[in-house]
Structure 1
Amino acid sequence: MNSEVIILAGGLGTRLRSHIGEAIPKPMAPIGDIPFLQILLSKCAREGFSRVILSVGYRQEVIMRYFGERFLGLRICYAREKSPLGTGGALLQALKFAQSPYVLLLNGDTFFEIDFRDFLARHRAPSRLRLALTLMQNTRYGSIELDSEGFITRFSTDSSAAFSPDSTSAHSLINAGVYSLSRDIFEGFCLPKIFSFEDFIAQHYGEILASGEVYEARFIDIGIPQDYLRAQSYLSGLGL
């Protein structure tokens, strides 16, 4: 069974600097006494993953010094950005280190309380990409629509398409930052060095037969100060 994970951990954390300072990269933002990234790695270790590829950029030495080459039994490989590549460029680089035909991909600033190993095991060809989705009310995120077989028919990164400040009941399916993807997901595409993975999905979801599965699970994104502060009590209470 596949047991490989890529975590996009190169974020600048500009919006969090008032809380964590400039010396700490966003994935290392403290949750209680431990960095957020440790929570993700601990969950991966508990679920039986054996190898993690950390895509690192801003203040990468902080992450590499803290976790080293092995952490909680996980073997760690680093895909190092010399300059910012965007989430798509960073993933393209990280996939060069992948060994499994399908890998789990996690955003380094979100936590979604689902079974990662089960989610990865359920991926089937010919789909090259599978997303974990959740329903959220009045979201600041984009929105996604699926057909009756679970394939994506609409993928919007425009938050205004889903967010209505005058509505108290509008809900949208959102990308929860957990993906299962084939190692050859970018094969056949002419891509720039720097690009957004979400923009790639929005443009090519039909060609890669992207699919999604909806989960009722707790989701948190530490990317903005109010959610980061909310994460302190929520994630600390999980015992991770």
Structure 2
Amino acid sequence: MSRVALVTGGTRGIGKAISLHLKEHGYTVIANYSSNNDAAVAFHKKHGIPVYQFDVSDFSACQKAVKQITSDYGHIDILVNNAGITRDSTLHNMTEENWHAVLDTNLSSCFNLCRCVIDGMREREFGRIVNIGSINGQAGQYGQVNYAAAKSGIHGFTKALAQEGAGKGITVNAIAPGYIATDMVRAVPEKVLEKIIAKIPVGRLGDAEDIARGVGFLVADEAGFITGSTLSINGGQHMY
């Protein structure tokens, strides 16, 4: 029986690439999404990956969803916490609402989903958790105190949970992507994009598949001796 993987934010962008990569490598994949029904339906029709709509920032919604997925598929072996949002502004212009929205969606979601799957992983003495951080959680970024705080928090969360899970066969790692050629990054004005690329030693944006391959490496059965690590995939932009 194949390993069952849940990928949050798994129907678009980096999450989509992760979902497809895992499916191609024999995993049973479930993709979560939040609100874009059209994209989720199109994704499911094209790729045959089941999609579940729930708010990762809502603990009760996560409990309900994990219970349903477990009923449908028996268990969850792999969790990829990929879902995230941005609400950028300088701190002196930032609203309390946008602070909490980013922290809840990007960081609290990691607690919510990990808490919901950890008991099953401990019982089976196997689990793979990968949390998607960011280069901006390592280096900071102007106008992103909320996003940088959330992503930096993910790295600390990962290291602490890795220590708790290690004795039960559960690995917990993070990936810190650099600038990836998603729709959001491609929408940046051309002159700004040129400045970004100029700071990347390999001379290009990353591809979503670069991140997906990193996830595939960390969730493999053979990766049981790797835990508490952050894999930086950023073209050399920030060597941390």
If the length of structure 1 is used for normalisation, what is the TM-score? 0.40
Greater share of residues in helix: 2
Larger RCO, structure (CA 8 Å, separation 6 or more): 1
If the length of structure 2 is used for normalisation, what is the TM-score? 0.40
